[in-house]
Amino acid sequence: MTINVGVLGARGRMGATVVNAVEGASDLKLVAALDAGDDFAALADAQVVVDFTHPDAVMGNLEYLVEHDIHAVVGTTGFSDSRLADLRALLEPKPSLGVLIAPNFALGAVLAMRFAAQAAKFYASAEIIELHHNRKADAPSGTAAHTARMIAAARAEAGVAPGPDATTSELDGARGATVEEVRVHSVRLPGLVAHEEILFGGEGETLTIRHDSLDRTSFMPGVLLGVREVLKRPGLTVGLENVLDL
Protein backbone atom coordinates (compact mmCIF):
# COMPACT_ATOMS: atom_id res chain seq x y z
CA MET A 1 0.00 0.00 0.00
CA THR A 2 1.33 3.46 -0.89
CA ILE A 3 1.11 6.17 1.79
CA ASN A 4 0.30 9.71 0.65
CA VAL A 5 2.64 12.12 2.44
CA GLY A 6 2.65 15.90 2.84
CA VAL A 7 5.58 17.95 4.16
CA LEU A 8 5.33 21.22 6.09
CA GLY A 9 8.46 23.37 6.20
CA ALA A 10 9.42 21.92 2.80
CA ARG A 11 11.83 24.74 1.87
CA GLY A 12 13.68 24.52 5.19
CA ARG A 13 16.85 22.55 5.96
CA MET A 14 15.01 19.51 7.33
CA GLY A 15 11.86 19.79 5.21
CA ALA A 16 13.84 19.77 1.95
CA THR A 17 15.73 16.67 3.11
CA VAL A 18 12.42 14.97 4.00
CA VAL A 19 11.00 15.81 0.55
CA ASN A 20 14.00 14.03 -1.06
CA ALA A 21 13.67 11.05 1.29
CA VAL A 22 9.93 10.64 0.62
CA GLU A 23 10.50 10.92 -3.12
CA GLY A 24 13.14 8.18 -2.84
CA ALA A 25 10.89 5.71 -0.98
CA SER A 26 8.93 3.33 -3.20
CA ASP A 27 6.08 2.89 -0.69
CA LEU A 28 5.52 6.65 -0.17
CA LYS A 29 4.04 9.29 -2.48
CA LEU A 30 4.72 13.00 -1.97
CA VAL A 31 1.38 14.77 -2.46
CA ALA A 32 2.20 18.22 -1.03
CA ALA A 33 5.35 20.15 -0.10
CA LEU A 34 4.34 23.36 1.67
CA ASP A 35 6.10 26.15 3.47
CA ALA A 36 5.12 29.29 5.40
CA GLY A 37 2.27 31.15 3.69
CA ASP A 38 1.20 28.26 1.43
CA ASP A 39 -2.44 27.13 1.27
CA PHE A 40 -2.94 24.05 3.49
CA ALA A 41 -5.86 22.98 1.26
CA ALA A 42 -3.14 21.26 -0.81
CA LEU A 43 -2.89 18.70 2.04
CA ALA A 44 -6.33 17.29 1.18
CA ASP A 45 -4.91 14.02 -0.24
CA ALA A 46 -2.30 13.49 2.49
CA GLN A 47 -2.70 10.59 4.93
CA VAL A 48 0.39 11.59 6.92
CA VAL A 49 2.00 15.02 7.19
CA VAL A 50 5.58 15.53 8.35
CA ASP A 51 6.19 18.84 10.18
CA PHE A 52 9.64 20.42 10.43
CA THR A 53 8.70 24.08 10.80
CA HIS A 54 9.17 26.32 13.84
CA PRO A 55 8.26 26.03 17.54
CA ASP A 56 5.94 29.06 17.12
CA ALA A 57 4.08 27.48 14.17
CA VAL A 58 3.79 23.79 15.01
CA MET A 59 0.78 23.89 17.38
CA GLY A 60 -1.33 25.78 14.81
CA ASN A 61 -0.28 23.28 12.15
CA LEU A 62 -1.27 20.36 14.37
CA GLU A 63 -4.66 21.91 15.07
CA TYR A 64 -5.27 22.02 11.31
CA LEU A 65 -4.08 18.42 10.76
CA VAL A 66 -6.14 16.95 13.60
CA GLU A 67 -9.21 18.89 12.50
CA HIS A 68 -8.78 17.45 8.99
CA ASP A 69 -8.12 13.86 10.18
CA ILE A 70 -4.51 13.77 8.95
CA HIS A 71 -1.90 11.75 10.90
CA ALA A 72 1.23 13.70 11.85
CA VAL A 73 4.93 13.00 12.30
CA VAL A 74 6.54 15.95 14.03
CA GLY A 75 10.22 16.80 14.34
CA THR A 76 9.72 20.45 15.24
CA THR A 77 10.89 21.26 18.76
CA GLY A 78 9.34 23.33 21.54
CA PHE A 79 7.01 20.79 23.17
CA SER A 80 6.54 21.64 26.85
CA ASP A 81 4.39 19.47 29.15
CA SER A 82 1.55 21.97 28.74
CA ARG A 83 1.73 21.78 24.94
CA LEU A 84 1.63 17.98 25.12
CA ALA A 85 -1.41 18.18 27.39
CA ASP A 86 -3.14 20.53 24.92
CA LEU A 87 -2.37 18.09 22.12
CA ARG A 88 -3.76 15.12 24.04
CA ALA A 89 -6.97 17.10 24.60
CA LEU A 90 -7.09 17.97 20.88
CA LEU A 91 -6.76 14.27 19.97
CA GLU A 92 -9.40 13.05 22.43
CA PRO A 93 -12.36 13.34 20.03
CA LYS A 94 -10.29 11.63 17.26
CA PRO A 95 -9.34 8.23 18.77
CA SER A 96 -8.12 6.70 15.51
CA LEU A 97 -5.70 9.52 14.66
CA GLY A 98 -1.97 9.20 15.36
CA VAL A 99 0.57 11.93 16.16
CA LEU A 100 4.23 11.04 16.64
CA ILE A 101 6.52 13.70 18.08
CA ALA A 102 10.22 12.96 18.25
CA PRO A 103 12.75 15.52 19.47
CA ASN A 104 15.37 13.59 17.51
CA PHE A 105 14.89 11.08 14.67
CA ALA A 106 18.54 9.93 14.47
CA LEU A 107 19.01 6.37 15.70
CA GLY A 108 22.26 7.21 17.53
CA ALA A 109 20.67 10.15 19.34
CA VAL A 110 17.78 7.96 20.50
CA LEU A 111 20.26 5.34 21.74
CA ALA A 112 22.38 8.00 23.47
CA MET A 113 19.31 9.21 25.38
CA ARG A 114 18.45 5.65 26.38
CA PHE A 115 22.03 4.96 27.53
CA ALA A 116 21.95 8.21 29.52
CA ALA A 117 18.77 7.13 31.29
CA GLN A 118 20.43 3.80 32.13
CA ALA A 119 23.54 5.55 33.50
CA ALA A 120 21.56 8.12 35.53
CA LYS A 121 20.79 5.83 38.43
CA PHE A 122 24.50 5.09 38.94
CA TYR A 123 25.75 8.70 38.74
CA ALA A 124 24.08 11.43 40.79
CA SER A 125 25.94 14.16 38.87
CA ALA A 126 25.15 14.75 35.19
CA GLU A 127 25.40 17.68 32.79
CA ILE A 128 24.54 18.00 29.10
CA ILE A 129 26.35 19.93 26.39
CA GLU A 130 24.47 20.30 23.11
CA LEU A 131 26.17 21.80 20.05
CA HIS A 132 24.33 23.02 16.93
CA HIS A 133 24.63 25.20 13.83
CA ASN A 134 24.14 28.91 14.53
CA ARG A 135 20.87 29.16 12.52
CA LYS A 136 18.98 27.16 15.13
CA ALA A 137 16.11 29.16 16.68
CA ASP A 138 15.72 27.44 20.05
CA ALA A 139 17.99 26.73 23.01
CA PRO A 140 18.40 24.36 24.64
CA SER A 141 17.75 21.81 21.90
CA GLY A 142 14.64 19.65 22.11
CA THR A 143 16.94 16.63 22.33
CA ALA A 144 18.83 18.03 25.31
CA ALA A 145 15.59 18.90 27.11
CA HIS A 146 14.22 15.40 26.42
CA THR A 147 17.49 13.84 27.64
CA ALA A 148 17.36 15.90 30.84
CA ARG A 149 13.77 14.76 31.46
CA MET A 150 14.78 11.11 30.90
CA ILE A 151 17.68 11.49 33.36
CA ALA A 152 15.33 13.11 35.91
CA ALA A 153 12.76 10.32 35.50
CA ALA A 154 15.44 7.64 35.90
CA ARG A 155 16.76 9.40 39.02
CA ALA A 156 13.28 9.65 40.50
CA GLU A 157 12.58 5.97 39.81
CA ALA A 158 15.87 4.93 41.46
CA GLY A 159 15.51 7.40 44.35
CA VAL A 160 18.76 9.17 43.38
CA ALA A 161 19.02 12.88 44.27
CA PRO A 162 21.08 15.24 42.05
CA GLY A 163 24.74 15.31 43.13
CA PRO A 164 26.31 18.12 45.20
CA ASP A 165 27.26 21.40 43.51
CA ALA A 166 29.20 24.06 45.41
CA THR A 167 28.55 26.95 42.99
CA THR A 168 27.31 29.95 44.96
CA SER A 169 28.62 32.73 42.75
CA GLU A 170 28.33 32.72 38.98
CA LEU A 171 28.16 35.01 35.99
CA ASP A 172 24.61 34.74 34.58
CA GLY A 173 24.43 31.62 32.39
CA ALA A 174 27.92 30.34 33.25
CA ARG A 175 26.48 27.07 34.57
CA GLY A 176 23.94 26.75 31.75
CA ALA A 177 20.17 26.37 31.93
CA THR A 178 18.54 23.99 34.38
CA VAL A 179 16.05 21.45 33.02
CA GLU A 180 14.57 19.27 35.77
CA GLU A 181 17.70 19.83 37.90
CA VAL A 182 20.06 18.89 35.05
CA ARG A 183 22.43 21.61 33.76
CA VAL A 184 22.26 22.04 29.98
CA HIS A 185 24.87 24.06 28.04
CA SER A 186 24.16 25.20 24.47
CA VAL A 187 26.87 25.93 21.88
CA ARG A 188 26.03 27.54 18.50
CA LEU A 189 28.65 27.59 15.73
CA PRO A 190 28.62 27.58 11.93
CA GLY A 191 29.97 24.25 10.66
CA LEU A 192 28.14 22.18 13.27
CA VAL A 193 24.99 20.16 12.49
CA ALA A 194 23.59 18.52 15.67
CA HIS A 195 25.68 17.09 18.51
CA GLU A 196 25.12 16.13 22.13
CA GLU A 197 27.33 15.07 25.02
CA ILE A 198 25.92 13.71 28.24
CA LEU A 199 28.56 13.80 30.99
CA PHE A 200 28.34 11.84 34.22
CA GLY A 201 30.71 12.23 37.15
CA GLY A 202 31.35 9.76 39.99
CA GLU A 203 34.03 8.85 42.50
CA GLY A 204 37.33 9.16 40.57
CA GLU A 205 35.73 8.71 37.13
CA THR A 206 33.60 10.29 34.44
CA LEU A 207 31.46 8.78 31.71
CA THR A 208 30.74 10.68 28.47
CA ILE A 209 28.06 9.60 26.00
CA ARG A 210 28.32 11.51 22.71
CA HIS A 211 26.30 11.53 19.53
CA ASP A 212 27.02 13.46 16.32
CA SER A 213 24.68 14.04 13.41
CA LEU A 214 27.11 15.00 10.66
CA ASP A 215 24.44 15.33 7.97
CA ARG A 216 20.65 15.78 7.99
CA THR A 217 20.26 12.46 6.18
CA SER A 218 20.94 10.92 9.62
CA PHE A 219 17.36 11.80 10.60
CA MET A 220 15.69 10.29 7.53
CA PRO A 221 15.43 6.56 8.42
CA GLY A 222 13.68 7.59 11.64
CA VAL A 223 11.34 10.01 9.87
CA LEU A 224 10.35 7.42 7.25
CA LEU A 225 9.85 4.79 9.95
CA GLY A 226 7.63 7.29 11.77
CA VAL A 227 5.53 7.88 8.64
CA ARG A 228 4.95 4.13 8.25
CA GLU A 229 4.30 3.52 11.96
CA VAL A 230 2.08 6.47 12.85
CA LEU A 231 -0.82 4.96 10.88
CA LYS A 232 -0.74 1.96 13.25
CA ARG A 233 -0.40 4.02 16.45
CA PRO A 234 -3.48 6.03 17.41
CA GLY A 235 -3.07 8.77 20.00
CA LEU A 236 0.03 10.73 20.94
CA THR A 237 3.46 9.06 20.94
CA VAL A 238 6.42 11.09 22.21
CA GLY A 239 9.90 9.86 21.37
CA LEU A 240 11.13 7.53 18.63
CA GLU A 241 12.31 5.12 21.36
CA ASN A 242 8.68 3.98 21.67
CA VAL A 243 8.47 3.15 17.96
CA LEU A 244 11.85 1.38 18.01
CA ASP A 245 10.73 -0.65 21.04
CA LEU A 246 13.91 0.18 22.95
Ligand X SMILES: O=C(O)C1=N[C@H](C(=O)O)C[C@H](O)C1
Annotated binding site for NAD(+): 9-14, 35, 75-77, 102-105
Q: Which stretch binds ligand X (CB under 6 A): 19-27, 92-100, 113-121, 139-147?
A: 139-147
The reply on whether position 237 binds ligand NDP by CB under 6 A is no
Q: Which of 47, 61, 143, 186 binds ligand X (CB under 6 A)?
A: 143
Calpha distance 3→221 (Å, rounded): 16
Calpha distance 122→124 (Å, rounded): 7
The reply on whether position 176 binds ligand X by CB under 6 A is no
The reply on whether position 194 binds ligand X by CB under 6 A is yes
Give whichever of 175 and 233 is closer to ligand NDP, judged by the CB atom. 233
Sites for ligand NDP among residues 6-35 (CB under 6 A): 8-9, 11-15, 34-35
Residue 223's alpha-carbon distances to 160, 161, 189, 230, 244, in angstroms, are 34, 35, 25, 10, 12
* Residue 55, C-beta contacts closer than 8 angstroms, at least 6 positions apart: 76, 77, 78, 137, 138
Rounded (5°) CA angle 145-97-91 = 60
Dihedral pair phi/psi, residue 145, rounded to 5°? -65, -40
Annotated catalytic residue 136: yes
User: At its nearest, how many Å lie between ligand X and the CB of residue 67?
Assistant: 26
- State the residues that interact with ligand NDP by CB under 6 A: 8-9, 11-15, 34-36, 52-55, 57, 61, 75-77, 102-105, 142, 219
